[in-house]
Amino acid sequence: MFERIYEPLHPDYRVYRDFLKHLPEESTPEDYQTDQELAKPCLPVEKPVSTDVLQIPLPAFSHDILKKPDILSVLQDRVSRRVFKKTSLELEALAFLLWATQGVRKVVPVKNGKASLRTAPSAGARHPFETYLVVRNVTGLEKGIYRYLPLENTLAFLKPGDFSNETIEACAYQRFCGLAPVTFFWSVLPYRTEWRYAYISHKVIALDAGHVCQNLYIACEALGLGTCAIGAYDQEKADQLLNLDGSEEFVLYIAPVGNY
Ligand SMILES: Cc1cc2nc3c(=O)[nH]c(=O)nc-3n(C[C@H](O)[C@H](O)[C@H](O)COP(=O)(O)O)c2cc1C
């Protein structure tokens, strides 16, 4: 046994540790049914957007976009990058990054609902995330807040403006996050996963998020761009920035992207 060198900040820290464990089958009552089994409606695979919101089509891209097509070098060279040039990001590059992280390959029927199959894996194909962008310097895009609509392959333009300061505050004053030409914010809609996995959802949601951000790292490295996973952020400010209710949908993970 090791000697604990710190006092846990929270007396119930084991609750947090237990969240990482897979609950044994026998802890579930025999007659327990998930909302999926009860045939309750699931959330749509993509959060709907109101018809009066402008949708900007994303450009197509080809293999030519890859500056470093070799997976061995991509994995070897991948690091977290926190210093970005002031140069703008091409919309085509952004389209590639969005596809690489959350692009939808197929929507498929599942028992009592629908699922999407994407470039990243997700437990039960629930894909509980939405991708928001705070854009500062992307060719062809006005500064502002956008949401990726993977089914339409468009960007919903939610709010114009320069949100550099709000981004820095939301990212717990990590300034590089607000200076990047674009900052990815992934929100989670926990019920997408809870509908199928109930109380074991929260562990797999955290696992799912890691895959999405790793895809961003890999895609950035292949394009000669830099990114850095951000887990230290101000929950309330991040949710406020994106106008999320903080309960049914809230920010889970952030990543600025730019040229380095
Ligand atoms: C879940 C997670 C959260 C992170 N949060 C931050 C963060 O808030 N700020 C930061 O500068 N780096 C953050 N990082 C980046 C790590 O510091 C970085 O991955 C680590 O130092 C290893 O360096 P490398 O990515 O260059 O290999 C985070 C990474 C992960 C995976």
Separation of 218 CA from ligand 1 center, angstroms? 14
160 falls in which pLDDT band (50, 70, 90)?
very high
- pLDDT tens per residue across span 209-223: 999 999 999 999 999
- Residue 233 CA: nearest ligand 1 atom is 8
Separation of 232 CA from ligand 1 center, angstroms? 9
- pLDDT tens per residue across span 100-130: 999 999 999 999 999 999 999 999 999 999 9
- Kindly tell me if the per-residue pLDDT of 4 is higher than 70: no
Highest mean pLDDT of the ranges 12-16, 195-199, 228-232? 228-232
Please compute, for residue 213, the number of CA atoms within 13 A of its CA located in the half-sphere on the CB side: 23
Within 6 A (CB) of ligand 1 lie 79-80, 82, 174, 228-232
Separation of 79 CA from ligand 1 center, angstroms? 9
Quick one: pLDDT at residue 89?
98
Domain covering 28-259: architecture: 3-Layer(aba) Sandwich (3.40)
3 falls in which pLDDT band (50, 70, 90)?
low
Q: Which long-range contacts (CB under 8 A, 24 or more apart) does 156-165 make?
A: 156/49, 156/53, 156/54, 156/55, 157/53, 157/54, 157/55, 157/56, 158/53, 158/132, 158/243, 159/243, 162/136, 163/134, 163/241, 164/136
Ligand 1 mutation pick, 79, 167, 228, max ligand atoms within 8 A of CB: 228
- Kindly tell me if the per-residue pLDDT of 250 is higher than 70: yes
Please report, for the chain, the start and end positions of each structural domain, with discontinuous segments joined by +. Answer: 28-259
Look up residue 253 and give its two tokens: 């993970």
Report yes or no: 161 and 143 within 8 Å, Cβ to Cβ. Answer: yes
Separation of 211 CA from ligand 1 center, angstroms? 14
- Phi-psi region for residue 210, left (φ > 0), alpha (ψ -120 to 50) or beta? alpha
Q: In what order do the strands lie in the sheet with 144-149?
A: 55-57, 154-160, 144-149, 129-135, 182-188, 250-259, 225-227
